[in-house]
Amino acid sequence: MFSAILEYEFLQHAFYAIVLGSIVCGIMSNLIIEKKMLMISGGLAHTAYGGIGLAYLLEFDPTAGALAFSLCSALFIAFLHKKSHVSNDIFIALFWALGMALGIIFIGLIPGYTPNIESYLFGNILAVSGQDVLAMLLLSALIVFCVFAFYKDWQIFLFDEEFARLQGIAVNFYHYFLYVLVTLSVILLIRVAGIVLVLALLSAPAASASLCSRNFTGRLALSVLFSFVFSFFGLWLSYTLDISSGACIVVFAFCIYALLLVLNRKKA
């Protein structure tokens, strides 16, 4: 596998995508879990399907379409969450279904040959191009900067919003800001695990790290490591067996988490 990475450019692109995706997963999975936003992340990922379908219909970049759809949905859900007394789960479910439905409609309206969008649904890290890697690099750098430039504020906001408000932190701003960062993370990870499976990458690293460390900063570092291990060995299985990379990554992540859970219970 290592020799193949040095030899083949498509594997080099896949490896770069793993490194960048692991950094984002490690950081954002902790923020998402602390704020109980896992289902929101899944909803935004599925909403992206509508943007991908529209992009194919109007013949522009599918990633741009996914980003536009998901970002608009994220801000609208964040607004409704703040202003409405209706359960957030209802908004998430509706947007989740709406995104998928619109994607199906838009793709159905494409004249002639229907494009193969399986890689967007289930991920195909082996198909990541140099342009994709560059886009992932820019998104990763933006996400990392936005988190660590305001790291202390994020820590307070994540664990106690009332205390954050008393400290003069702009809680409403961070509320919307977090939704934007989640959206950017989802778009970045769609090429790695796909719309259907991306939720696992936004939960498994932090869930595994929480079994090994109670310190938030320690969990961030461990989450990055776990995410890299999941993705690298998932890539190896995918390349060796010639099957879906996203599915391999998710199965490997589940197995490692289950193993850690068993070991953790034995220690207790």
pTM of the model: 0.87
- Please report, in tens digits, the pLDDT of each residue of the chain (268 residues total): 556 666 778 788 888 888 888 898 888 888 888 888 888 888 888 888 999 999 988 888 888 888 998 898 888 888 887 777 666 778 788 888 888 999 989 988 888 777 777 777 777 777 788 888 888 889 889 999 998 888 888 888 888 888 888 888 888 899 899 999 999 988 888 877 778 788 888 888 888 998 888 888 888 899 999 999 988 888 888 888 888 777 888 888 899 999 998 888 776 5
Q: Which residues contact 26 (CB under 8 A, 6 or more apart)?
A: 205, 206, 209, 220, 221, 222, 223, 224, 225, 226, 227
Residue with tokens 């809680």: 171
Q: Specify the fold of 2-267.
A: ABC transporter involved in vitamin B12 uptake, BtuC (1.10.3470)
Domain ranges of the chain: 2-267
Q: How far apart are CA 113 and CA 187, in angstroms?
A: 26
Q: How far apart are CA 131 and CA 101, in angstroms?
A: 29
Contact 222, 212 (CB under 8 A): yes
Q: How far apart are CA 51 and CA 106, in angstroms?
A: 9
